[in-house]
A = this chain, B = another copy of it.
Amino acid sequence: MLNNSENENTSIPNGKEGLISKISEKTKSYHKETIYGIGDDSAVLNYHEKRTLVSTDIFVDGIHFDLMYTPLKHLGYKVVVASISDIIAMNATPKHITVSMAVSNVLMQAQILEIYEGIHHACEEYQLDLIGGDITSSKKGVSICVTSMGIANEEDIVYRKGARPTDLLCVTGNLGGAYMGLQLLEREKSIFQSTGVQPKLEGNDYVLQRQLKPTARLELLNYFKTKEIKPTSMIDLSTGLATELINLCNSSNMGCEIFEERIPIEDDTRKIAAEFGIDPTIAALNGGDDFEILFTIELSNYEKIKNNDFFSIIGSINPIDKGTNIVMSDGNIIPIKTN
Chain B nearest CB from A248 CB (Å) reads 9
Which residues of chain B have C-beta atoms less than 8 A from A39's C-beta?
251
A179 to B159, CA, bound (A): 46
Name, among A85, A90, A234, the residue most crowded by chain B CB atoms within 10 Å (CB to CB).
Answer: A90
Given that A40-B159, A147-B147, A247-B5 are known contacts, is A136 also in contact with B54, CB under 8 Å in the complex? no
Pick the interface stretch among A149-157, A224-232, A269-277. Answer: A149-157
Given that A140-B141, A141-B138 are known contacts, is A98 also in contact with B56, CB under 8 Å in the complex? yes
Contact of B5 with A60 in the complex, beta carbons under 8 Å: no
Contact of A41 with B157 in the complex, beta carbons under 8 Å: no
Contact of A42 with B102 in the complex, beta carbons under 8 Å: no
A4 at the interface (CB under 8 A from B): yes
Chain B nearest CB from A80 CB (Å) reads 14
A73 to B131, CA, bound (A): 30
Contact of A58 with B238 in the complex, beta carbons under 8 Å: no
Contact of A131 with B54 in the complex, beta carbons under 8 Å: yes
A181 to B56, CA, bound (A): 33
Q: Name the residue on B nearest A133 (C-beta).
A: B56
Contact of B58 with A8 in the complex, beta carbons under 8 Å: no
Q: Which of A76-94 contact B (CB under 8 A)?
A: 85-87, 89-90, 92
Q: Name the residue on B nearest A90 (C-beta).
A: B42
Q: Name the residue on B nearest A161 (C-beta).
A: B40
Pick the interface stretch among A19-27, A194-202, A281-289, A310-318. Answer: A281-289
Which residues of chain B have C-beta atoms less than 8 A from A101's C-beta?
58
Contact of B137 with A8 in the complex, beta carbons under 8 Å: no
A9 at the interface (CB under 8 A from B): yes
Pick the interface stretch among A45-53, A108-116, A327-335. Answer: A45-53
Which residues of chain B have C-beta atoms less than 8 A from A46's C-beta?
51-52, 154
A301 at the interface (CB under 8 A from B): no
Which of B58, B132, B137, B244 meets A54, CB within 8 Å? B132
Q: Which of A167-210 contact B (CB under 8 A)?
A: 179
Contact of B54 with A42 in the complex, beta carbons under 8 Å: yes
Contact of A51 with B45 in the complex, beta carbons under 8 Å: yes
A165 at the interface (CB under 8 A from B): no
Query: Which residues from chain A sit less than 8 Å from chain B, CB to CB?
Result: 1, 3-11, 35-36, 39-49, 51-64, 85-87, 89-90, 92, 96, 98, 100-102, 131-134, 136-141, 143, 145, 147-150, 152, 154, 157, 159-161, 179, 234-236, 238-240, 243-244, 247, 251, 286-289, 338-339
The 8 closest A-B pairs by CB, nearest first: A145-B145, A9-B288, A58-B100, A42-B55, A41-B86, A45-B52, A41-B89, A62-B139
